Structure 1
Amino acid sequence: MSDLNNHLFAQMERLTSEDLSEEQIAKEVQRANAMVSVADRITGNADLQLKAAKLYAEYGEPVLKHLPQIGGPSK
């Protein structure tokens, strides 16, 4: 998450650069939109992992029996 944060702040700095032409700004805006889309997916995934960890912390092993297996080797 810290890498994501660093990338987003670097993009903000590029967007506020006064040395960019209108064409360069348009390209940076497109790049920023793509980064936001990916960042939303990353933070959504992190939120899902946190929710799963909270369920496990609250209910332990029994909760795992009721959840579909995600990732890991299939049997």
Structure 2
Amino acid sequence: YEAKGLAEAIEYNNITQVKSILHALKKLVQKEHFQAIGLSCTHYSLILDEFKRQIPGVIFIDPTSAVVKEVFRVLKLRGHE
């Protein structure tokens, strides 16, 4: 599922749009019986609590810490400590 427009809605603090997209996602999760959702954009971590409120009972996989570690690793390799 592509949460089209969600990152932009988060960036511009468009709560109405965020809730609308999450509602559509919730319907899909219920229909398909998803057990986990991978957050494929670091913007999504900013609304992780809202994801959990809107779509309870699903495991959310948040890549933020892995992305941060990789950025630091690359910076260190390039001599930017």
Bin for the TM-score computed over the shorter chain: 0.3 to 0.5
Larger relative contact order (Cα-Cα within 8 Å, sequence gap ≥ 6): 2
Q: Which of the two has greater strand per residue? A: 2
- The structure having more radius of gyration, on CA atoms, is 1
TM-score by length of 1: 0.33
Q: Which of the two has greater helix per residue? A: 1
